[in-house]
Amino acid sequence: MNRIEERFAQLKRTGKKGFIVYIGAGDPNLTATRELALAFDKAGVDILELGVPFSDPLADGLVNQLAAQRGLESKTTPPKLLKMVSGIRKKSEIPIVLYIYFNLIHRIGMEQFIRDASRAGVDGLLVLDLPPEESDNYEALMRRNNLCHIYLVAPTTPEERMEFIVRRGSGFVYYISREGVTGMQSKVASNLASQVSKIRAHTKLPVAVGFGVSNPQQAKLVAQNADAVVVGSAVVNQIAENGKSKDLVKRVGKFVKSLADAVKTV
């Protein structure tokens, strides 16, 4: 098992729900990303998703688009990001997933990128625009390097295709609880419980739910149905508001801990 599988196994043994945080790598810079990662580990985050800055983040709403732009402005590249992950590994074993678009992997070379990611201490990839139908070689390389290949399921995914997707994935299933792009929402999707049940009928993988979870109350509600809760835009928004503050890590860490505490009480 890699760190993602180990963490979910540990959560299952203790009867706890998982908490996953997404932030844009290099926002406002890679030093801050490293410090935030270490703070999140202490705050109760189970898995950290790092968005690799890309010029055309099609799955992202405005908050995460701007984070990607700030990451590009801080000159964050995949090699620099992997070097930063190696730095995190000197102090923390928090599982790390890269949220990435395939063009960045293709540019470097799939075999080399996957090998380098594994060596740096990455535990999984979530490639937004790589469908499982085109992933045979990718999945084989991921297995060879002990990385989890994580796939998305949407509210509009037909059940037959849902079964196909979850059969191909590893680590966990990421269920997008709302149609459209990432972003904060005022309430939790009303059909969440039925959709998660439908996914569970086809897989034993943990189901993580994200897209739209914005505060501790929503996180707690989602945790009642999911194996893990993903919060992204709300945390990224905190980074945007405090990016120039010397208390950035402290302020964002406090917000993240409030989310983690809510999830862990379910």
Q: How far is CA 40 from the centre of its chain?
A: 13
Q: How far apart are CA 264 and CA 102, in angstroms?
A: 34
Known catalytic residues are 49, 60
CB 20 within 8 A of CB 206: no
